[in-house]
Amino acid sequence: MIEHIGDKSAPAHPFVISGPSGVGKGTVLSYVVKDHPEIWLSVSATTRQPRPGEVHGKHYYFLTEAEFDAMVDQGQMLEWALVHGTDRYGTPRKPVADAIAAGKTAVLEVDLKGARQIRQSMPEATQIFLVPPSWEELERRLRGRGTESEEQIERRLETARQELAAQSEFDVVVKNDSVSRATAQLLHIMGIER
């Protein structure tokens, strides 16, 4: 069920989407943007290594530690955080400003720490938290994706516990029990009809 989101419900303002690793953020967002050129997905910068098939500039900007430092030092990150205690992820500031200026519905995928920063710097953004139908299903999706080692999975599950405990901080909580239902709910929240 979608809760009331107050005076942030007008379309074309920024949206933050957060949720534990493996919940399906990437999957659902790929459907949200499909056939919706008015929605612009922010491409984050990260110091983690690309997974097979991930493309620089499309999935992430894969940066060295020094390159990431330089962007932070020059004030080019809208927010950034150390995620899962290992790698840094951040949202480049200028493309977000440009997308909003162009009238796009900007969507930023960030972790809990990033969402907290954006709550301060961009309070007009509607903050959405994606939850799994159950803890067991989250574990199953994370392991089923097969992109992390067991040690990385354990670390992500530990972060997931902390993130799920903070879901009440968000404007809306959407359950990803089915990709099509979650996609439809996100489009509805964004004020976009299918």
Rounded to an integer, what distance in angstroms lies between the CA atom of residue 71 and that of residue 66?
9
Contact set for ligand ADP, span 24-53 (CB under 6 A): 24-27
Residues linked to residue 119 through DSSP beta bridges, in sequence order: none
CB burial class (10 A; 0-12, 13-18, 19+) of residue 146? Answer: exposed
Tell me which stretch binds ligand ADP (CB under 6 A): 62-70, 72-80, 113-121, 173-181: 173-181
Helix axes 150-165, 135-145, angle to 10 degrees: 150
- Least Å distance between CB 41 and ligand 5GP? 11
What is the end-to-end Cα distance of the chain in Å, rounded?
Answer: 18
Choice from 40, 100, 106, 109 touching ligand 5GP (CB under 6 A) = 109
Nearest to 169 by CA among 136, 137, 129, 133: 129
Rule CB under 6 A: say whether 47 interacts with ligand 5GP: no
Structure tokens at 39: 């929605």
Choice from 13, 93, 113, 145 touching ligand ADP (CB under 6 A) = 145
**Taking CB within 5 to 8 Å according to partner kind, which of ligand ADP, ligand 5GP, none is near residue 145?**
ligand ADP
Rule CB under 6 A: say whether 134 interacts with ligand ADP: no
Site string for ligand 5GP, 3-32 (x = CB under 6 A): ---------------x--x-----------
Contacts of 102 (CB under 8 A, 6+ apart): 40
Rounded to an integer, what distance in angstroms lies between the CA atom of residue 20 and that of residue 191?
24
Contact set for ligand 5GP, span 114-153 (CB under 6 A): 114
Considering the complex, state which of residue 44 and residue 105 has its C-beta at the smaller distance from ligand 5GP: 44
Choice from 40, 47, 111, 183 touching ligand 5GP (CB under 6 A) = 111
Rule CB under 6 A: say whether 113 interacts with ligand ADP: no
Sheet of 61-62: strand order equals 61-62, 45-46, 87-92, 77-83
Q: Which residues bind ligand ADP (CB under 6 A)?
A: 19, 21-27, 141, 144-145, 176, 178-179
Q: Which residues bind ligand 5GP (CB under 6 A)?
A: 18, 21, 44, 48, 79-81, 83, 89-91, 109-111, 113-114
